[in-house]
Amino acid sequence: MPDRTPTRSPQSPFRTAFAALSGTSIEWYDFYAFATAAAIVFNDVFFPADMPTALKTISSFATFAVGFLLRPLGGIVFGHIGDRVGRKKTLVITLLMMGVASFAIGLLPTYDQVGVLSPILLIVLRLVQGIAIGGEWGGAVLIAVENAPKGKATFFGSFAQLGSSVGALLSTGMFSLMNLFGDAAFDSWGWRVPFLASAVLVVIGLVVRTKLEDSPVMDEVHTRQEKGGVGRLPVAEVLRKDWKTVLVGVFSLATATGGYYVVTSYLLSYGTEDQHLSESMLLNGLSLAAFLELVVTPFLSLLGDKVGAHRVVVGGLAGVVLLSIPQFMVLGTGSVAGIYLMMLAMRFVMSALYGPMAAILADGFDPHVRYTGISLSYQVCNLVFAGFAPVAAVWLSALAGGAYWPPAVALMVVSAVGIWCTLRLRTYGARRVAAKAPAAPARPVTAHA
C-alpha cells in the first residue's frame, strides 16, 4: 500500500477518516441531488413545455453531464495545490465551492420565468460543481489513506468513498421526503429544498475540516521540494512518467463511476418514463440500496486488506457482468420485491468496486505527484464514462426502440475491460514499490577447492 515516511507522528486515522467522510458526504450529496433532479424534475422546470419528452430528458441529463467537463481541470488545479502545498487547503476550498453552487441552484428561476437564461444559469453552476468535485476526491482519499496504519490503507481509504453512499442516501431521502407533499408542491418548491439544505451541511463540514492537520506525507514532500528533488509541475511529471498508470486507472474505474449512474439515474428515468413505475417506489429502492452500500463497503474494504484489494474489485466487476441484464429486466415485471432485490444485489457488487479503489490508485503514484495522478485517473474517467452515461444509455435505448438491453450490454463490456485494467494496476503498483526498494546486498562468493 502507499508508502508513508513522515517526520512527525500521524494524527488519529479514525479522525482523518471521519473528516474525509464528512466532507465527501456533503459534496456527493450536492452532486447526487443534481443527478436525481435531472432525472425527474429539471426536464419540466428548465426547458420549454412544448419540447418533445425524449429531447427534454436528454437535455436534462446533458446539464448533468456538463459538470463532468471541468472535473479534470479541477483535478489538475487542486491536484497541483495538494501536491505542492498540502491536502488540507484544497479540501476547504472545494467544499465551499460546492456548497455555494448547490445553494444557488435551489434559488434559480424557472424557464417559464426567465426563458433560456434559466438553463444557462443552471449549466454555469453545474460547471462550478464539476471543478469543486474534481479537486475534492483526491484530497479526501489521500488524507485518509496516508494516515492509515500499515496494512489498513484499503479499509481507512474506503471512508472517503463512503461519502458517495452517504450523499446518495441523504439526497434520495430528501427527495423522497419532498415527494410526500404531492406532485404539485414538489414541482413548485419541493425540489428546491434539498439544494437549499446543503448550506447547513457545508457549515458542519467546514468545522470538521478546518480542525484537521495535513497529511504527514507532506513533510517528506516539502523537504524534497526544498532540496529541488521534485519538479514544479506535478501534472507534467505524471503525464511523462506515469501515463500508463493514469490510462489503466481510467478504465478500471469506469464501472464504479459510469456504471453507477446507469443503475441509478438512468434506471430511475427508464423506470418512470418507459415502464411507468412509481417514482416514489424507485426512489425508496435507491435509498435502500445506498444504505446497503454504506454498510457493506467498509467490510469489503477490510476484506481487501486481508486478501488483496484487487481481488475484491475483480469479484465485484464480475458480479456486475452477471447482474446487468437482470437489473433492468425485472423492471418490466412490476414486482416491487423483485425490483428491490435486484437493486440491492447490484449495489452490493458495486460496493466492492468503489471502496478499495482509493488505496489501489494511490499505490500507483509517488507521494509528490500522488494527488495529481489519482485525480487525473478518476476525473478523466468521470468525464469519459460517468458524465455522459445517462445520456448514452437513453440514446442506446432509443436506437433499440426503448429496449433496456443495449445499455445493459454496454455496462457488461465496460466491466469486462475493467477486470483486465484492475489487474494491470496491481502490476504497475508492484513495479513502483520494487523500483524504490534498496538493492539486495550481493551474496559472497565462496571459493571451492
Q: With 0-12 CB in 10 A as exposed, 13-18 as middle and 19+ as buried, what is 417?
A: middle
> How much is the average pLDDT of 58-81?
86
Q: With 0-12 CB in 10 A as exposed, 13-18 as middle and 19+ as buried, what is 441?
A: exposed
Confidence of residue 438 (pLDDT cuts 50, 70, 90): low
- In CATH, the number for domain 13-221+230-434 is 1.20.1250.20
Question: Which residues make Cβ contacts (< 8 Å) with residue 303, sequence separation at least 6?
Answer: 312
Q: 0.75 cut: is pTM over it?
A: yes
Contact between 273 and 288 (Cβ < 8 Å): no
- C-alpha–C-alpha distance, residues 430 and 247, integer Å: 17
What CA–CA distances, in Å, run from 82 to 67, 92, 170, 339? 22, 11, 28, 42
Q: Note the pLDDT tens digit of each residue in 371-415.
A: 899 999 988 888 888 777 878 888 888 888 878 889 999 999 999
What is the domain partition of the chain in residue ranges? 13-221+230-434
Which residue in 180, 198, 178, 182 sits closest to 190, CA to CA? Answer: 178
Q: Note the pLDDT tens digit of each residue in 30-54.
A: 778 888 888 788 888 898 888 887 7
Range of weakest confidence among 116-125, 275-284, 405-414 = 275-284
Report DSSP state, residue 334: -
Which residue in 188, 80, 90, 171 sits closest to 132, CA to CA? Answer: 90
Q: Which three cell numbers stand for residue 291?
A: 444504505
Q: In the chain, what is the straight-line distance between the N-terminal and C-terminal CA atoms, in Å?
A: 47
- C-alpha–C-alpha distance, residues 156 and 26, integer Å: 18
Range of weakest confidence among 3-7, 222-226, 298-302 = 3-7
How far does CA 119 lie from the centroid of its chain? 25
